[in-house]
Amino acid sequence: MTSTPKIWHATVLTLFPEMFPGPLGVSLAGKALASGLWALEARDIRDSATDRHRSVDDTPAGGGPGMVLRADVLAAAIDAADSAPERQKDRPKDRPRLLMSPRGRPLTQSRVAELAAGPGPMIVCGRFEGIDQRAIEARGLEEVSVGDYVLSGGEVAAMALIDACVRLLPGVMGKVASGADESFSHGLLEYPQYTRPQEFEGRPIPEILLSGDHARVAAWRQAEAEALTKARRPDLWAARQAQTRPAQTRPVQTRPGQKRPKNTTEG
Ligand code: SAH
């Protein structure tokens, strides 16, 4: 059996579809969108409202300020997006279903890479105080956060996620497409970048970068990346240390009933 590769497709469920493509329609992502390297569909949650007033929200059960997006309306919007005729033949039903949410797991470059490698997600954008918990559970939504701060809606967060995915799609970044050198790709922040002019307000470009010695440049960049990561993101540095620690510094494995050797240094 042969299957034609489908383009990466993001479906966004929002109360403000007019916000899209917005920033995703310009520069790298916008050019790629225009040339059909990926597709974007923004669907209005309000189209799934059933009453005369097309209401999508109501007051929180138990009291409190603000409004909550109704579970029935949102579930209907998700189902409608899944059963759209073009969806049936084009896109697998098992695509990730995300909910942008400050309670979610913080988005990382590795999750972005996974999402970019898949068929493309459906993304629900919350508004108001958030959405009825039962819609999250009944439709198996994965909550994703873009940081420990609260936005007024999920749209800007969804744009950040889509933008991060799109630049990793084949053909979008041209020759630099690997992204292999970038922040986070090796658990490190990126080294500082410079370009002309050679001197700016009395600040020269570090000499080593003009030396033409690729090995020295690479070593300098690696050292800078490590120093930056240590200073700014001790959490990333610790995680990297735990991953890259050489085997001999790990505790020696012992089988059950076997005594741990007294001297664990290997040579
Ligand atoms: N009362 C909620 C916040 C609601 S903000 C709470 O305290 O958790 C309204 C919507 O904005 C959310 O439903 C979510 O979709 C989006 N949003 C806000 N902050 C976000 C963040 N840091 N990451 C992802 N989405 C966010």
* Domain map (residue ranges) of the chain: 8-166, 199-243
* Residue 86 pLDDT greater than 90, yes or no: no
Alpha carbons within 13 A on the beta-carbon side of 104: 27
Q: What is the pLDDT of residues 55-76, one digit of tens each?
A: 999 999 999 999 999 999 999 9
* Residue 93 pLDDT greater than 80, yes or no: no
**Torsion over CA of 114, 120, 121 and 123, rounded to 10 degrees?**
120
Buried residues in 166-179 as b, exposed as e (16+ CB within 10 A):
bbbbeebeeeeeeb
Q: How far apart are CA 73 and CA 56, in angstroms?
A: 6
Q: Which of 66-80, 176-190, 203-217, 225-239 has the lowest mean pLDDT?
A: 176-190
pLDDT at 54: 96
Atom of ligand 1 nearest to the CA of 131: 13
Which of 74, 108, 150, when mutated, tests ligand 1's pocket best, judged by the most ligand atoms within 8 Å of its CB? 150
- pLDDT confidence tier of residue 265, bands split at 50, 70 and 90: very low
Reference 10, options 143, 167, 166; nearest CA is 166
CA-nearest residue for atom 12, ligand 1, is 126
Those residues with Cβ within 8 angstroms of residue 204's Cβ, 6 or more apart along the chain or in another chain:
198
Atom of ligand 1 nearest to the CA of 125: 15
Q: Which of 113-117, 175-179, 195-199 has the lowest mean pLDDT?
A: 175-179
At 1, is the secondary structure helix, strand, or coil?
Answer: coil
CB 227 within 8 A of CB 236: no
CA-nearest residue for atom 23, ligand 1, is 145
CA-nearest residue for atom 8, ligand 1, is 102
Taking residues 232-246, what's their average pLDDT? 92
pLDDT at 3: 56
Alpha carbons within 13 A on the beta-carbon side of 240: 17
157 in contact with ligand 1, CB cutoff 6 A: yes
Cα 57 to Cα 72, 81, 97, 136, 261, distances in angstroms: 10, 19, 21, 15, 65
Buried residues in 206-222 as b, exposed as e (16+ CB within 10 A):
eeebeeeeeeebeebbe
φ, ψ of residue 42 to 5 degrees: the values are -105, 120
Residue 213's region, left for phi above 0, alpha for psi from -120 to 50, else beta, is: beta
* The listed CATH number (3.40.30.10, 3.40.640.10, 3.40.1280.10, 3.40.50.2300) that belongs to domain 8-166: 3.40.1280.10
Those residues with Cβ within 8 angstroms of residue 167's Cβ, 6 or more apart along the chain or in another chain:
28, 29, 173, 179
Q: Say how many Å lie between the CA of residue 259 and the centre of ligand 1.
A: 52
* Residue 26 pLDDT greater than 60, yes or no: yes
192 in contact with ligand 1, CB cutoff 6 A: no
Residue 105 structure tokens: 């797991």
Q: Say how many Å lie between the CA of residue 58 and the centre of ligand 1.
A: 17
DSSP state of 234: H
14 in contact with ligand 1, CB cutoff 6 A: no
Q: Say how many Å lie between the CA of residue 63 and the centre of ligand 1.
A: 19
Please give the mean pLDDT across all residues of the chain.
90
Cα 53 to Cα 6, 47, 97, 217, distances in angstroms: 38, 11, 28, 64
CB 97 within 8 A of CB 122: yes
262 in contact with ligand 1, CB cutoff 6 A: no
* Residue 256 pLDDT greater than 90, yes or no: no
Taking residues 242-254, what's their average pLDDT? 65
Taking residues 72-99, what's their average pLDDT? 84
Partners of 9 in beta bridges? 39
Q: Say how many Å lie between the CA of residue 154 and the centre of ligand 1.
A: 6
CA-nearest residue for atom 1, ligand 1, is 129
